[in-house]
Amino acid sequence: MNVELKKIDEVSGAGGEKYQRILDAAVEVIAERGYFNSPVSAIAKRAGVADGTIYLYFKSKDDVLRTAIDSTFEKFYRKVVDAFVTLDAPREQLEYIAQVHLESHSVNRSMAVLMQTEMRQSAKFIEEFSHHHLVKYIQMVREVVRRGQEQGIFRKDISDGVVAHCMFGAIDELLSSAVFTGREYDARNTASQVIDVLLNGIAAGK
């Protein structure tokens, strides 16, 4: 894996930002038309390269999509990990995750569309994704929840796994709904609402 990342860097070194151009073009085109309705030729055209050139940088059409998703998730993961260095409180950590997750919409709208659609197009793909990326997300949240439980901030009679899935699912659905309806929202504010529900529930107080 490290090896592969290094190679990428080398390639994109010189004038080889063709690699990145192809990735971006793929995300855009696929977001607009769907994976199976996006011929490699359309991606190549958008990237401004010849069809065959794509195969100099990627093994297959599938590989382009996979790489784009992997790299997006990698960025998400790194951003969260970096912030955690100076962000200690479980509550704030959850809110930060929610916020970054929801921000993905505005950072790269095409990518957000793609993650809500193409990423889920086949059980096979999901199984892969579930194991590689989602699991990492869930782990992250579970650890935060467990730390909160240990600190007495969060209830101990609740499964951290269930909480983690609920949180991911809730945010993902809000994001998804915004993507499909074209609605805009304020990531910070929405994150705060979700965390409010998650922490305090909707039952009328006391």
Partner DNA sequence: CATGAATGAGCGTTCATTCAT
Partner DNA sequence: GATGAATGAACGCTCATTCAT
- Site for DNA, rule CB under 7 A: 5, 9, 11, 14-16, 18, 36-41, 49-53, 55-57, 60-62
Q: Which of residues 88-147 bind its own copies (CB under 8 A)?
A: 113-114, 116-118, 120-127, 130-131, 134, 138, 145
Nearest partner of 101 among 160, 167, 43, judged by Cα: 167
Measured from the CB of residue 9, what is the shortest distance to its own copies in angstroms? 21
* C-alpha distances out from residue 169 to 138, 139, 173, 177, Å: 10, 14, 6, 12
The rounded distance, in Å, linking the Cα atoms of 123 and 83 is 33
For residue 155, state whether it binds its own copies (rule: CB under 8 A).
Answer: yes
Q: Which residue has the tokens 């009679």?
A: 157
Measured from the CB of residue 138, what is the shortest distance to DNA in angstroms? 31
Question: Candidates 1-9, 13-21, 66-74, 171-179 — which segment interacts with its own copies by CB under 8 A?
Answer: 171-179
**194: which residues sit within 8 A by CB, 6+ positions away?**
98, 167, 170, 171, 174
Measured from the CB of residue 3, what is the shortest distance to its own copies in angstroms? 26
**206: which residues sit within 8 A by CB, 6+ positions away?**
none
Question: Candidates 43-51, 55-63, 66-74, 195-203 — which segment interacts with its own copies by CB under 8 A?
Answer: 195-203
For residue 69, state whether it binds its own copies (rule: CB under 8 A).
Answer: no
For residue 22, state whether it binds its own copies (rule: CB under 8 A).
Answer: no
The rounded distance, in Å, linking the Cα atoms of 206 and 204 is 7
For residue 65, state whether it binds its own copies (rule: CB under 8 A).
Answer: no
Measured from the CB of residue 176, what is the shortest distance to its own copies in angstroms? 8
* C-alpha distances out from residue 171 to 33, 100, 132, 178, Å: 25, 10, 19, 11
Measured from the CB of residue 197, what is the shortest distance to its own copies in angstroms? 6
Nearest partner of 171 among 62, 80, 63, 67, judged by Cα: 80
The rounded distance, in Å, linking the Cα atoms of 164 and 148 is 13
For residue 37, state whether it binds its own copies (rule: CB under 8 A).
Answer: yes
For residue 52, state whether it binds its own copies (rule: CB under 8 A).
Answer: no
Measured from the CB of residue 194, what is the shortest distance to its own copies in angstroms? 6
Binder of residue 50, out of its own copies, DNA, none (CB less than 5 to 8 A by kind) = DNA
For residue 153, state whether it binds its own copies (rule: CB under 8 A).
Answer: yes
